[in-house]
Amino acid sequence: MAILTKEQAKQIIDKVLSYSTADEMEVSIFGGRTGNIRYARNTVNTSGETNEIRLSVNSVYGKKVGSSSTNEMDDASLKKLVARAEEIAKLAPENPEYMPMLGPQTYPDSTTFSPATDKIDPDFRAQVAADSIGITRGDDLTAAGYLEDFSGFVASGNSKGQFNYNTSTSVDFSVTVRTTDGKGSGYAIRDFNDVSLLSSKDVTNIAMQKAQASSTAQAIEPGKYTVILEPTAAGDLLSLLTRGFDARSADEGRSFMSKKGGGTRIGEKLFDERVTITSDPTNTEIPMSPWDGDGLPRQKTTWVENGVVKNLAYSRYWAEKQGVAPLSSAGGRGFGGGGYIFAGGDESIADMIKSTERGILVTRFWYIRAVDPQTLLFTGLTRDGTFYIEDGKIKFPVKNFRFNESPIIMLNNIESMGKPQRVGGSLIPPMKIRDFTFTSLSDAV
């Protein structure tokens, strides 16, 4: 049984804590099942499932920290584990940035677990693939897709009396459909905590339509264009911005959030006044873990309001050094990319197209890399469905473009926005942006 109950987890953690002779100790237990199925050329090529449970300890003497972990839960193994972590800690160099462990905290309720996702088995995964392949086989199309699901728990407790426990599930599904002549390609991706919200057939249908509609792409001149970014495309770029909402690098003078002459740009109007970015751990569309990497409870936070920078994240160490309260990042899934809520508008993508004299509709971006961290300039390409709009209508598919653009400049060039939808754990609206910089053409399909 990979998922322990809260009580079972607490019992083990308390037992391990009782073995400690260090100044401070923290015990974490993680358990879960990760499953996947991958298909290409209309046929399954890999699938698998991993079950894992692991207990880790961090032992601390002064500012010296040692870590160790095990998957053996018997008393003898756990005692040995604690002794090993303490031994490592004694030999470790001091970490001057070490912050003492937290005492008991109150965390917001979590809605990260879905029973439907927890029930996924190999047959279910095969069906997801079959539903997707089923509509592309025999239609001069090929599907390549990937489903990954997770169900598990994490619990931790420390020698200062803190304890937390959370169960969570996730499912990520993406599919690329290509025409067999290699001239058209379409893509769609969805992520949920609750798999009952996923229909691989519907998602594949979107990718299929894009593949068919994009198969006669024409070359047009690169340059500055009005773009309509579908939520996936907008999310590709906006996630690059939110990663920089960090006070330390700004204070250190090495971030786009650094102020000329020193300090951060909190209080400065950096974006169009329609830009408001918040995070809310209780939002049910993008549920997230109730605590952050420092073990602090996540809070409802306004990062940008009406274009003005309101907050940057402060780690416990940096907050103490600067004499302010710590503030966790939005902290959705993965490496801090998710958890942000971008206030949108009320225009649909169809409305945006209708009001566009000359522009480009973008499905997604690809291979995005930082070019200049000072200005947050990124480069990358459009992929899997790029269309030319003229006089309020989609005229024809176009060859892919390379862009060189900064999300900061983009958020100063907003024409309109639509209703936000979940993309990679954040809520992102479709956006119409003027003067988006495409610098060259690509023949890639």
Q: Hey, which residues between 374 and 403 contact another protein (CB under 8 A)?
A: 374-377, 379-381, 383, 400, 402
- Residue 33 pairs in a beta bridge with 51, 151
Q: Which is nearer to another protein, 12 or 352 (CB)?
A: 12
Q: Which is nearer to another protein, 58 or 226 (CB)?
A: 58
**CA-CA distance, 170 to 148, in Å (whole number)?**
8
* Residue 202 within binding range of another protein, rule CB under 8 A: no
Q: In whole angstroms, how close is the CB of 211 to another protein at the nearest point?
A: 11
Q: In whole angstroms, how close is the CB of 41 to another protein at the nearest point?
A: 5
* Residue 86 within binding range of another protein, rule CB under 8 A: no
* Residue 204 within binding range of another protein, rule CB under 8 A: no
Q: Which is nearer to another protein, 410 or 427 (CB)?
A: 410
Q: Hey, which residues between 242 and 281 contact another protein (CB under 8 A)?
A: 252-254, 256, 258-262
Of the residues 3, 116, 349, 368, which one makes contact with another protein according to CB under 8 A: 368
Q: In whole angstroms, how close is the CB of 419 to another protein at the nearest point?
A: 27
Q: Which is nearer to another protein, 345 or 380 (CB)?
A: 380
Q: Which span sits near another protein by CB under 8 A: 90-98, 103-111, 193-201, 228-236?
A: 90-98
* Residue 38 within binding range of another protein, rule CB under 8 A: yes
Is residue 378 a contact partner of residue 276, using CB atoms and an 8 Å limit?
A: no
**CA-CA distance, 59 to 65, in Å (whole number)?**
6
Q: Which is nearer to another protein, 21 or 48 (CB)?
A: 48
Per-residue binder mask for another protein (CB under 8 A), 309-348, x = binder: ------xxx---------------xxx-------------
Which CA distances in Å does 203 have to 133, 182, 197, 245, 346? 12, 20, 11, 32, 24
Provide the 10 A C-beta neighbour count for residue 374: 10
Q: In whole angstroms, how close is the CB of 342 to another protein at the nearest point?
A: 19
* Residue 45 within binding range of another protein, rule CB under 8 A: yes
Q: Who's near 367: CB < 8 A, 6+ residues apart?
A: 380, 381
Of the residues 12, 78, 135, 175, which one makes contact with another protein according to CB under 8 A: 175
**CA-CA distance, 132 to 7, in Å (whole number)?**
41
Which residue is it, tokens 């756990």?
A: 78
Q: Hey, which residues between 49 and 78 contact another protein (CB under 8 A)?
A: 50, 52, 54, 56, 58, 65, 67-71
Q: In whole angstroms, how close is the CB of 383 to another protein at the nearest point?
A: 6
* Residue 223 within binding range of another protein, rule CB under 8 A: no
**CA-CA distance, 233 to 178, in Å (whole number)?**
19
Name the token pair of 239: 């996630």
Q: Hey, which residues between 144 and 173 contact another protein (CB under 8 A)?
A: 144-146, 148, 150, 152, 154, 156, 158, 166, 168, 170
Of the residues 105, 408, 419, 435, which one makes contact with another protein according to CB under 8 A: 408
* Residue 436 within binding range of another protein, rule CB under 8 A: no
* Residue 110 within binding range of another protein, rule CB under 8 A: no
* Residue 174 within binding range of another protein, rule CB under 8 A: yes
* Residue 120 within binding range of another protein, rule CB under 8 A: no
**CA-CA distance, 119 to 195, in Å (whole number)?**
10
